[in-house]
């Protein structure tokens, strides 16, 4: 029986599972969106949201200059950084968490991530999902990429129509140039 067992085991031993989830959270903070299986995304979400909350709680203290903080406020910041470093082992990701992500989510009281189901993976039909951080509410809404912008980036799709050629250019393009004969 699995009474009071509230996490997914993901078919791994404890150490491997914890390392996997730490790596997924780090990648989420670095790239702000990751593609993974639904079960891994749901477990990663729990850990990521808890970590963002640690950073968000000291957001008001981080706005002050370090020399203006009281000893109690400095201790709160150190504790929050240490708690975040338990999960996120990459220094750059921790800096991004406290400098960019915590101020972004300062007004939110949870729900910092979103899981979008993508379908099944071709190899083993595992249900896949996209785990992403919610965009900033105060920022203007980003436009959805149209098909022409995806083509410009080289992401596939139909090619953009080329400029039309004149009738003389079309005729020249159809007739190959004949090499000159030497006798």
pLDDT tens readout for residues 122-162 = 999 999 999 999 997 666 555 555 555 444 455 554 454 45
Q: What is the pTM of this model?
A: 0.72
Task: Please list the residues that pair with 128 across neighbouring strands.
Answer: 37, 119
Domains of the chain: 14-154 (3.90.1030.10)
Task: Please list the residues that pair with 114 across neighbouring strands.
Answer: 132
Q: Between these two residues, 144 and 82, which has the higher pLDDT value?
A: 82
Confidence of residue 179 (pLDDT cuts 50, 70, 90): low
Coil, helix or strand for 113?
A: strand
Residue 117 has pLDDT above 70, yes or no: yes
User: What's the mean pLDDT in 34-39?
Assistant: 96
The reported pLDDT for the residue numbered 150 is 46
How many CB atoms lie under 10 A from the CB of residue 93?
Answer: 21
């Amino acid at each position: 029986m699995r009474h009071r067992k509230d996490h997914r085991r993901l078919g791994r031993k404890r150490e491997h599972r914890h390392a996997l989830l730490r790596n997924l959270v780090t990648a989420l903070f670095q790239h702000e969106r990751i593609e993974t299986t639904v079960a891994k995304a749901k477990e990663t979400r729990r850990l990521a949201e808890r970590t963002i909350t640690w950073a968000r709680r000291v957001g008001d203290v981080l706005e002050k200059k370090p020399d203006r903080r009281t000893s109690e406020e400095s201790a709160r910041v150190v504790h929050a950084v240490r708690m975040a470093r338990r999960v996120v082992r990459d220094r750059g990701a921790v800096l991004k968490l406290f400098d960019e992500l915590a101020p972004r989510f300062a007004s939110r009281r949870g729900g910092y991530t979103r899981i979008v189901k993508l379908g099944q993976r071709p190899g083993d039909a595992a249900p896949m999902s996209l785990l992403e951080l919610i965009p900033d509410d105060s920022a203007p809404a980003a436009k959805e990429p149209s098909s022409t912008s995806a083509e410009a980036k080289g992401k596939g799709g139909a090619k953009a129509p080329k400029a039309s050629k004149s009738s003389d250019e079309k005729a020249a393009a159809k007739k190959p140039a004949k090499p000159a004969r030497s006798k």
